Amino acid sequence: MDLPQLVPDIIAKKVCCGAHHCVALIDAKTIYSWGQNNHYQLGHGNNKNMNTPTRISTKLPHKIMNIYAGMNHTIILVEYGFVFTCGLGTSGQLGHGDTRYRTIPILLKSHRMTSIYCNSLANHWFGISNGKLFGVGSNAKGQLIMYNSTIRCGVPTELNVSGNVLDIGLGSEHSVVILEKHKPLVKNMHAFRDIDIITLTEYL
């Protein structure tokens, strides 16, 4: 096994990893990505794998606030809550209302977000907009905490939860939402097909 090596000429503020790709935030205007790119998740306009960090050339209109990596997609949150996505869209996880790929970061027109929750092995994600919780992407196992049989949400869809969201954890096919009422809610239709929402424990 090779020893870890320093990546030259890169000083990053944040790095996040998808299933097989990496994204690094350098400054308020600069993002680099590298790794597997078979689903255009690197945002370079092509599907060539990148062995070294390569700058995403798409010019974003505002200061970059944060970056996120899903399984095969990338999310960029910029100032004023605008969201850009690229990569695989077969589960609706890019939020553009269809299941197509996006080869470069494209603006998500429907909502502005203040917070985003994503996971490297997930095809779904959550966002907070105007204090409300929204889900995007795969709901094949009920992981978007929805009360119907919708397989996917191709646009940010408001979720019926009561209380302010404190934190969200995502697995590949399940989610945990901690609300201000201090009851973690779990949704996993694969493991608990007959239960919509499970309250795990009461926090004191």
Q: Under a CB-based contact definition with an 8 Å cutoff, are residues 51 and 37 in contact?
A: no
pTM exceeds cut of 0.85: yes
CA-nearest of 198, 167, 195, 199 to 180 is 167
The CA distances from residue 136 to 68, 77, 140, in Å, are: 14, 15, 12
The residue ranges of every structural domain in the chain are: 14-199
For residue 42, what are the contacts with CB-CB under 8 A and spacing of at least 6?
21, 33, 34, 35, 50, 54, 56, 74, 86
Predicted local distance difference test score (pLDDT) of residue 100: 97
Place of tokens 């905490």: 145
Q: Name the percent of the chain lying above pLDDT 90.
A: 66
Place of tokens 């239709």: 189
Task: Please report, as a single letter, which amino acid is at residue 175.
Answer: S
The CA distances from residue 29 to 50, 62, 104, 187, in Å, are: 21, 8, 15, 37
* pLDDT one-digit tens code per residue, 93-151: 999 999 999 999 999 998 899 999 999 999 999 999 998 999 999 998 889 987 666 78
46 phi and psi, to 5 degrees?
-145, 175
Please spell the DSSP secondary structure of 35-83, one letter per residue: E--TTSTT-SSS---EEEEEE--PPPSS-EEEEEE-SSEEEEEEGGG-E
Predicted local distance difference test score (pLDDT) of residue 2: 72
Give domain 14-199's CATH architecture.
Answer: 7 Propeller (2.130)
In the chain, which residue ranges form alpha helices assigned H by DSSP? none
- Mean pLDDT value across residues 64-87: 97
Predicted local distance difference test score (pLDDT) of residue 28: 95
* pLDDT one-digit tens code per residue, 25-57: 999 999 999 999 999 999 999 999 999 999 999
In the sheet that holds 83-87, the strands lie side by side as 64-69, 73-78, 83-87, 102-108
Q: Under a CB-based contact definition with an 8 Å cutoff, are residues 144 and 175 in contact?
A: yes
